Chain A
Amino acid sequence: MRGLKDSSSPTEMSGSGVVTVYGNGAAITEAKTSPFSVKVGLAQMLRGGVIMDVVNAEQARIAEEAGACAVMALERVPADIRAQGGVARMSDPQLIKEIKQAVTIPVMAKARIGHFVEAQILESLGIDYIDESEVLTLADDEHHINKHNFRIPFVCGCRNLGEALRRIREGAAMIRTKGEAGTGDIIEAVRHVRSVMGDIRVLRNMDDDEVFTFAKKISAPYDLVMQTKQLGRLPVVHFAAGGVATPADAALMMQLGCDGVFVGSGVFKSGDPARRARAIVQAVTHYSDPDILAEVSCGLGEAMVGINLKDEKVERYANRSE
């Protein structure tokens, strides 16, 4: 401060009009309430269904026609984001509007992790769900969006039970595994589903006295850990995502205990999207019936070109957030 003769106190500064602070310096919009039950309710309606990534109105109609229970509106599917690189952001609202007009099923869209203004824009478009997604480039590498501030429900990714419960505490009304989007390799999705389900099985058999330390170990809020123990499952709907490319992949996720499946690049990066989309929808409904699975898996044409995750150089989107 030497040499600086500060004549004005902070209070004088604030009224002088030199630089006005926007919104009193508060970054977050005022909290809007929508009961959590209403947010969770839509996810419950989506159970046993397939949510498909689409990049235009035409693809959205193909997905609806095949029996998708919702579509995810994006500019580029994860496989293209991987191939093209660069910064992946929220889609152009015009595109999202067009997709919303093309179909009657629910429409979701992705916002960058921590980018609460993208989320505000998506909420204003009147879509049905926001995916705060690690597939897009991060906007904040420490903080997720405070999802309690929104009326629109959110779905978030997780790799394990602790991460799932942290997202639920932030207000997520639906959870999906992260998997590795855009690879067509199911291994990471299997790892994440097994991790969540395995931890829940351990938790169910745990003495109540041990739950405090367990909650600390997985860095999750104690009350949600206890609720999970009592329910014997996550307290919100739990879908699988990231690497699902075939009807068998989708049925595998269901048999491992998921409530439904997201399919990203797997449908529209394959040889015959309409047929594959329909087969995956049927596989999710009849996931425990090998006869039907065999029937729907026949003659689907080429599956998406996969990226083998054994290759260390492949970027892990799942590790982008905690």
Chain B
Amino acid sequence: MVIGVLALQGSYNEHIAVLRRLGVRGVEIKKPEQLNSINGLIIPGGESTTMAKLAEYHNLFPALREFVKLGKPVWGTCAGLIFLANKAVGQKEGGQELVGGLDCTVHRNFFGSQIQSFEAELSVPELAATEGGPAHFRGIFIRAPAVLETGADVEVLAAYLKSAEVYFLFIF
């Protein structure tokens, strides 16, 4: 099995390193044609505006949308989540292009500037039940996005609660 990691900008090296630890082959994806040879795709964290610009320069959006439509598994972390959302708010002037495919609305950089970045323990009982492992996961929120709404078909695996509102984090 070969997993592609979108390697335009951001923490793609870290994702490839984790794949290597798991014994899975990870390859860098920088061009549209490279998507043809992979079984699944990870869109890593980074600066989503930058990643969108670079994807636009090299005409990656049509190929990425096609890949999502094929139903092959796609994982989005942080900026990758923004890429996969059907709708995003809090963007730069003029907006930014999205890949879409995940029925939700994302708020970019929801918590504020770096001073508001934080760590928190998240409860992940379903993951623990189905995959094993601990019932908690340490989440690091660096200028993180939040999911404001999700469609009916989206299953929420974990949520972080702040001032009585719920911000969803992991959606597949």
Contact = CB atoms under 8 A, between A and B. Distances in A.
22 contacts: A34-B115, A38-B118, A38-B119, A38-B142, A42-B142, A44-B11, A45-B11, A45-B143, A48-B12, A49-B47, A67-B54, A68-B50, A70-B47, A100-B113, A104-B90, A106-B47, A106-B143, A107-B113, A126-B113, A128-B114, A151-B115, A278-B57
A128 B47 CA distance: 13
Interface of A: 34-35, 37-38, 41-42, 44-49, 61, 64-70, 100, 103-107, 123, 126-129, 151-153, 278, 281-282, 284-286, 289
Contact of B46 (A45, A153, A282): A45
Given A38-B118, A42-B143, A48 B7 contact: yes
The 7 A-B pairs of least Cβ separation, nearest first, read A67-B53, A128-B114, A41-B142, A69-B47, A48-B9, A104-B92, A69-B50
B59 interface: no
B121 interface: no
Contacts of A104: 49, 90-92, 108-109
Contact of B93 (A41, A61, A66, A100): A61
Give the most central of A65, A67, A103, A284: most B CB within 10 Å: A67
Interface in B132-172: 140, 142-143
Contacts of A37: 119, 140
Interface string B100-127: 0000000011001111011100000000
Contacts of B143: 42, 45, 106, 128
Contacts of B92: 64, 103-105
Contacts of A281: 50, 53-54
A41 B10 contact: no
B14 interface: yes
B64 interface: no
Contacts of A70: 47
Contacts of B46: 45-49, 69
A281 B14 CA distance: 20
A66 B7 CA distance: 18
B45 interface: yes
Nearest to A41: B142
Contact of B54 (A44, A65, A123, A285): A285
A285 B9 contact: yes
A45 B53 contact: no
A76 B130 CA distance: 57
A49 B50 contact: yes
A66 B115 contact: no
Contacts of A46: 10, 46-47
A89 B107 CA distance: 36
